């Protein structure tokens, strides 16, 4: 028994079987408890929501009935006539009828506290307390505030300051809601209103409509601003703090028409059902204590726990017996494999781990020599390939190595593929990573080109090189296959490493001893990336034609480029430079002819710079002459970027300083004229005559110096003066338009509204 307990494998086997049996029991018990708890909670929530909706229906029936009575009353001819009549003894009959209508509108069952009829035009107020003037009424400020509202009909909450003594909540509610008012403007369906009718409904009436018969639940009504319209009874909510927490929960989800949430107060969880009225945006909240609701759920949980523990005990016994029976065969195998010194050899390992390590040790010993031989063989093969590329191998040595490395019979065709990384700029790599990147590309090439179509790929200096081979194909088909391999390698490197590479391919050759010549051809082909840009595949036969082409130079493009530089038209200069370089690359396929064209462009630009009276000494600060920098560039994009950054941009900056010194005073004098004579008939031609310049010239100077046209600047400045006069003076709008030389005031108003999105009058009202 002790030996069995000391076995780690047996213990793990026992734990596994125990775990397999225990997890379903735990999961099933937990799900059963959770389901029962959720079911009870769901039913309680549904019941509370139904009661809450019934409460809402009762309250809204009373409110709508009151509103209908008020609407019928104000639609009578008596009310319409009273709105046009001042209060006097002569109108006693009319006012008596008006007062009688108020009494009929207030049946006892509605609980209406009071109704006010307010005539703003003739300044009198009629209510249950009788007649008074508007100035004598204690609610004058409230009536005037209601009259300012843009709504024709609305509910308003009114409050009193004090403590509600009818609630069990110990804390004072300040302010306490006294009731709600229904406000309608008179006459109805008119744009201009001259009166109000205001009906008051007391808080006590609302509280009588609320169902709070259960100790585990109570209902509260809030207005649209979350002010309590009814006071909590204290059966669930013990303080106003709890009600405030509920309001904070509802505020973020105020757009929802109904919902449910919970919160904790003093270690007690309270559930809240709420619904929002579409009639007047009031909120109806039903509070219930979850601690009382979940009593039955907890009894179900304990019952489930006892059943699970009994099942777990049974599983524990069955797991031990089964694990023991499954372990005995493994124990016998281990005893035979380990021999007599079992304890010394195990060293804390279980049986299967010990047996596995022994088998692994034997396999490692068997393959170690094979791995060593394979590594040395790869190193010798790479050394052989390097000698072929450098032309150092003898024909007899080549034949011996070919047989040694078990290559296929000597194929008919060969070609050398050279891969070079275009640039590391704007990548996650640096120059220190170059060797690792080349070896990664070497591995990718080994995977993509089949073994029977190549020799061992290698890395030399800054290139990855592969000698491809083929047997039984024509040269044209072989070239197409090489191009397909190159495309595949280029695409894979871009996807995996995120690098742009170019590939040079030599001409096909039949004698393996001519590999060194093909190696030079592949490197020569890479130089012609300047014609095709980055990620180019460059077969030697395509990039180096045999015919001699006369060097072509685009003189007209150079002239337009120099003119754009002098005029400091940056976008146009950039575009002309790009067009010049592309044409030079297209018209000059040979690399050295292209270098002559680019060198000439550089010399002509520097000559123009010097003829303008500027020095080019600052361009040699990098330590190298410009011509040497130019020869190091490899692609058309690099050439374009270098010319613009190192030559054209500094040239435009230098010429601009010279231009600014002569023209800055012109724009300053024009600005001074605008600021001092904005209220006169100032034009561009008038400024030109005063400054003794052509209008087109000062127009260009002003736009370059200020970034805007003369007319736009003058209009904007006059607009700023107009806004200042509107706020600071009492000038009429027509006078402002005349002073600022608008043809008429309507043109001024239209322009002002277009720029400020409001009329001048609205602007004056807003900012005063």
Q: What pLDDT score does 211 carry? A: 66
- State both tokens at 692: 């003794």
Cα–Cα distance, 260 to 196 (Å, whole number): 39
Q: What is the pLDDT of residues 34-49, one digit of tens each?
A: 776 677 677 777 888 8
**Residue 363 pLDDT grade (very low, low, confident, very high; cuts 50, 70, 90):** confident
Q: What pLDDT score does 172 carry? A: 37
Q: What pLDDT score does 468 carry? A: 92
Helix axes 745-756, 710-728, angle to 10 degrees: 100
Per-residue pLDDT, averaged over 110-118, amounts to 83
For the chain, which residues make up each domain, given as ranges?
Answer: 374-543, 549-707
- pLDDT of 6 > 60? The answer is no
- pLDDT of 210 > 90? The answer is no
- pLDDT of 198 > 80? The answer is yes
Per-residue pLDDT, averaged over 173-189, amounts to 76
- pLDDT of 491 > 90? The answer is yes
Q: What pLDDT score does 440 carry? A: 93
Torsion sign over Cα 513, 515, 520, 525: positive
Q: What is the pLDDT of residues 539-558, one digit of tens each?
A: 988 876 554 444 457 777 88
Cα–Cα distance, 210 to 204 (Å, whole number): 10
Q: Let me know if domain 374-543 sits in CATH 3.40.50.300.
A: no
Per-residue pLDDT, averaged over 47-64, amounts to 84
Q: What pLDDT score does 161 carry? A: 45
Please report, for residues 199, 206, 375, 622, the alpha-carbon distance to residue 202 in angstroms, rounded to integers and kept in the order given: 10, 7, 98, 89
**Residue 173 pLDDT grade (very low, low, confident, very high; cuts 50, 70, 90):** very low
- State both tokens at 74: 């104000």
- pLDDT of 22 > 60? The answer is yes
Q: How far is CA 545 from the centre of its chain?
A: 52
- pLDDT of 319 > 90? The answer is no
Q: Looking at 24-28, 178-182, 759-763, which range is the least confident one? A: 24-28
Q: What is the pLDDT of residues 586-632, one digit of tens each?
A: 777 677 778 888 888 888 888 877 776 656 555 554 556 777 777 77
**Residue 379 pLDDT grade (very low, low, confident, very high; cuts 50, 70, 90):** confident
Q: What is the DSSP letter of 454?
A: B
Cα–Cα distance, 405 to 403 (Å, whole number): 6
Q: What pLDDT score does 248 carry? A: 80
Burial class (CB in 10 A: 0-12, 13-18, 19+), 611: exposed
Cα–Cα distance, 628 to 646 (Å, whole number): 13
In terms of DSSP H, where are the helices of 391-412? Answer: 395-404
- pLDDT of 162 > 50? The answer is no
Determine the 3-state secondary structure of 469 from DSSP.
Answer: strand
More confident residue, 646 or 407: 646
Phi and psi based region of residue 413 (left: phi greater than 0; alpha: psi -120 to 50; beta: remaining)? beta
Cα–Cα distance, 524 to 740 (Å, whole number): 73
Q: What is the pLDDT of residues 282-305, one digit of tens each?
A: 888 888 877 666 666 666 667 777
Q: What pLDDT score does 404 carry? A: 73
Q: Looking at 297-301, 473-477, 669-673, which range is the least confident one? A: 297-301
Q: Which residues pair with 501 in a beta bridge?
A: 421
The residues, any chain, with a CB within 8 Å of residue 351's CB and separated by 6 or more, are 7, 9, 330, 331, 333, 334
Q: What pLDDT score does 347 carry? A: 57
More confident residue, 461 or 656: 461
Per-residue pLDDT, averaged over 447-455, amounts to 89
Per-residue pLDDT, averaged over 46-66, amounts to 84
- pLDDT of 417 > 80? The answer is yes
Which range, 15-29, 138-152, 442-456, 518-532, has the best average confidence (pLDDT)?
A: 442-456
- State both tokens at 357: 């390590």
CA dihedral 633, 634, 638, 644 (to 10 degrees): 40
Helix/strand/coil percent split, the chain, to 5: 60, 15, 25
Per-residue pLDDT, averaged over 718-728, amounts to 88
Q: What pLDDT score does 263 carry? A: 80
- pLDDT of 687 > 70? The answer is yes
- pLDDT of 390 > 90? The answer is no
Mean predicted lDDT score pLDDT of the chain? 78
Q: Looking at 55-64, 75-84, 314-323, 739-748, which range is the least confident one? A: 314-323
Cα–Cα distance, 576 to 580 (Å, whole number): 6
Please report, for residues 524, 577, 610, 629, the alpha-carbon distance to residue 602 in angstroms, rounded to integers and kept in the order given: 25, 12, 13, 11
Q: What pLDDT score does 418 carry? A: 94
User: Phi and psi for 163 in degrees, rounded to 5?
Assistant: -115, 135
């Amino acid at each position: 028994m002790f030996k069995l307990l000391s076995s780690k494998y047996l213990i793990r086997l026992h734990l596994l079987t125990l775990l397999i049996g225990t997890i379903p029991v735990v999961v099933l018990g937990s799900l059963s408890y959770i389901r029962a708890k959720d079911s009870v909670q769901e039913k309680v929530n549904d019941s509370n929501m139904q009661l809450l909706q019934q409460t809402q229906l009762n309250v809204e029936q009373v409110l709508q009935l009151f509103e209908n009575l008020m609407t019928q009353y104000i639609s009578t001819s008596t009310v319409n006539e009273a709105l046009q009549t001042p209060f006097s003894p002569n109108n006693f009959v009319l006012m008596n009828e008006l007062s009688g209508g108020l009494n009929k509108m207030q049946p006892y069952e509605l609980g209406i506290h009071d109704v006010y009829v307010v005539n703003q035009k003739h300044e009198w107020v009629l209510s249950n307390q009788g007649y008074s003037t508007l100035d004598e009424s204690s609610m004058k400020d409230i009536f005037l505030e209601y009259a300012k509202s843009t709504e024709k009909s609305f509910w308003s909450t009114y409050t009193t300051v004090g403590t509600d003594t009818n609630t069990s909540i110990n804390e004072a509610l300040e302010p306490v809601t006294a009731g709600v008012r229904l406000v309608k403007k008179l006459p109805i369906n008119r744009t201009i209103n001259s009166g109000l009718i205001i009906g008051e409904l007391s808080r006590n009436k609302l509280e009588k409509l609320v169902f709070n018969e259960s100790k585990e639940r109570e209902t509260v009504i809030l207005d649209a601003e979350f002010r309590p319209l009814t006071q909590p009874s204290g059966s669930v909510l013990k303080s106003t703090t709890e009600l405030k927490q509920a309001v904070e929960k509802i505020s973020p989800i105020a757009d929802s028409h109904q919902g449910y949430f919970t919160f904790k107060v003093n270690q007690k969880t309270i559930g809240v059902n709420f619904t929002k009225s579409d009639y007047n945006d009031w909120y109806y909240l039903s509070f219930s204590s979850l601690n009382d609701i979940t009593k039955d759920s907890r009894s179900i949980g304990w019952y489930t726990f006892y059943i699970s523990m009994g099942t777990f005990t049974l599983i524990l016994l069955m797991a031990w017996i089964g694990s023991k029976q499954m372990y005995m065969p493994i124990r016998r195998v281990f005893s035979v494999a380990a021999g007599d010194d079992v304890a010394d050899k195990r060293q804390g390992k279980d049986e299967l781990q010990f047996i596995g390590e022994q088998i692994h040790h034997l396999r490692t010993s068997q393959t170690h020599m094979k791995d060593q031989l394979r590594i040395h063989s790869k190193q010798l093969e790479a050394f052989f390939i390097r000698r072929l590329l450098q032309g150092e191998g003898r024909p007899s040595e080549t034949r011996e190595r070919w047989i040694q490395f078990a290559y296929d019979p000597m194929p008919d065709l060969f070609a050398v593929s050279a891969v070079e990384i275009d640039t590391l700029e704007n990548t996650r790599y640096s120059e220190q990573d170059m060797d690792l990147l080349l070896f990664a590309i070497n591995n990718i090439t080994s995977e993509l080109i089949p073994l029977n179509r190549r020799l061992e790929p290698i890395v030399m200096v800054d290139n990855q090189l592969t000698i491809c081979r083929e047997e039984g194909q024509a040269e044209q088909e072989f070239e197409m296959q090489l191009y397909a391999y190159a495309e595949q390698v280029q695409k894979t490197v871009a996807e995996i490493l995120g690098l742009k590479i170019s590939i040079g391919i030599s001409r096909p050759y039949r004698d393996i001893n001519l590999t060194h010549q093909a190696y030079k051809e592949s490197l020569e082909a890479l130089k012609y990336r300047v014609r095709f840009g980055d990620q180019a595949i460059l077969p030697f036969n395509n990039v180096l034609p045999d015919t001699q082409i006369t060097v072509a130079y685009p003189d007209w493009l150079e002239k337009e480029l120099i003119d754009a530089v002098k005029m400091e038209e940056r976008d146009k200069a950039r575009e002309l430079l790009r067009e010049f370089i592309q044409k030079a690359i297209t018209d000059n396929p040979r690399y050295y002819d292209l270098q002559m064209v680019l060198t000439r462009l550089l010399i002509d630009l520097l000559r123009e710079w010097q003829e303008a009276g500027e020095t080019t000494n600052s361009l040699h600060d990098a330590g190298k002459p410009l011509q040497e920098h130019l020869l190091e560039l490899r692609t058309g994009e690099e050439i374009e970027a270098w010319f613009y950054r190192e030559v054209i941009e500094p040239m435009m900056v230098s010429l601009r300083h010279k231009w600014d010194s002569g023209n800055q005073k012109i724009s300053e004098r024009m600005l001074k004229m605008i600021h001092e004579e904005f209220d006169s008939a100032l034009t561009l031609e008038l400024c030109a005559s005063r400054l003794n310049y052509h209008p087109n010239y000062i127009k260009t100077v002003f736009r370059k110096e200020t970034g805007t046209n003369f007319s736009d600047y003058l209009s904007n400045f006059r607009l700023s003066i107009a806004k200042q006069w509107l706020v600071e003076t009492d000038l009429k709008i027509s006078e402002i338009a005349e002073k600022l030389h608008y043809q008429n005031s309507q043109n001024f108003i239209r322009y002002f509204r277009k720029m400020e999105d409001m009329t001048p009058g609205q602007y004056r009202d807003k900012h005063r």
